[in-house]
Amino acid sequence: MTEKEKQQAGELYNANDRQLLAERVAAKKLCAEYNVIPYNDYQKKERLLDRLIALRGEKTWIEANFFCDYGYNIVMGNNFYANHNLVILDCAEVVFGDNVFIGPNCGFYTAGHPEDFAVRNQGLEYAKPIKVGSNVWIGGNVCVMPGVTIGDNTVIGAGSVVTEDIPSGVVAAGNPCKVIRPVKTGDVPAPAASEEKAEEKPADKPVEKKTVPIKKREIRIEEIKK
């Protein structure tokens, strides 16, 4: 097996492998380019994300600065938003569902290292995938560790270190991150007085759900060689 095949299989691999190093260089060059694009040059940001991210839905926005290892292991659903200083160490796959909001200074780390220093010092490491469900809000300064799955409709409190799976529909926080309580439903501000007196309008027709095509990034060998 190649070192990349070992990496994708979750086995110990040499991160200093020539192919992996070249792919990291290509991704980090794109990240550096993305981070200096003028804020309102939306089209250029979109084009660069298409080159960097494997799959992404509509309304994908990542504030600068953004850093990742490879890019081709990252999948983002529709309506994805990440605040400043997002770090994704995507040595394994990192998948985000729809309507995911991420606060500033958050990290998603698939990479892990052996406890035995003699093995670790050989440059060997492993990678475990991370999965974040839909309708998830992650507060600022959160670290998500290798192999973690976060369920749908969940809130992760600011400053949390998520070391184990978190179920759907809960508020969780802490170091290590633990479930605190179920998510409150129907948490909507009361209407203003003028709105309460407004004449009732007929209910809108249900909106037909549409399937949004996901954009796919192809790895270009010429990018790696640059």
**pLDDT tens, residue by residue, 41-62:** 999 999 999 999 999 999 999 9
Q: What is the pLDDT of residue 187?
A: 65
Total H helices, total E strands in the chain: 6, 21
- Flag whether 35 is in a domain: yes
**Are the C-beta atoms of residues 115 and 135 closer than 8 Å to each other?**
no
Active-site residue, 84 included:
no
Distance of CA 168 to the CA centre of its chain: 17
Residue 92 has pLDDT above 80, yes or no: yes
Domain CATH code at residue 73:
2.160.10.10
H or E segment and range at residue 56: strand 55-56
pTM for this one? 0.83
164 lies in some domain: yes
Q: How confident is the model at residue 210 (pLDDT cuts 50, 70, 90)?
A: very low
- For 160, the domain range is 3-183
Q: Is the pLDDT of residue 203 over 60?
A: no
Q: What is the pLDDT of residues 100-118, one digit of tens each?
A: 999 999 999 999 999 999 9
Q: Is residue 202 situated within a structural domain?
A: no
**33 domain-assigned:** yes
Res 188: pLDDT:
60
For the cut 80, the answer to whether the pLDDT of residue 169 exceeds it is yes
- 221 lies in some domain: no
Specify which residues 144 forms β-bridges with.
108, 162
Band the pLDDT of 186: cuts 50, 70, 90.
confident
Name the burial class of residue 96, with classes exposed (0-12), middle (13-18) and buried (19+) by CB atoms within 10 angstroms of its CB.
Answer: buried
* The predicted structure's pLDDT at residue 14: 96
Give the pLDDT band of residue 191 (cuts 50, 70, 90): low
In a domain, 20, yes or no: yes
Mean pLDDT of the chain: 88
Mean pLDDT of all residues in 203-216:
46
Tell me how many domains the chain contains.
1
Q: Which of 24, 84, 113, 217 is catalytic?
A: 113
10-28 pLDDT, tens digit per residue, is: 999 999 999 999 999 999 9
**What are 118-165's pLDDT values in tens digits?**
999 999 999 999 999 999 999 999 999 999 999 999 999 999 999 999
- Residue 209 pLDDT greater than 70, yes or no: no
Give the closest residue to 60 by CA, choosing from 96, 106, 24, 107: 96
> Does residue 194 belong to any structural domain of this protein?
no
CA distance 18 to 26: 12
Residue 212 falls inside a structural domain: no
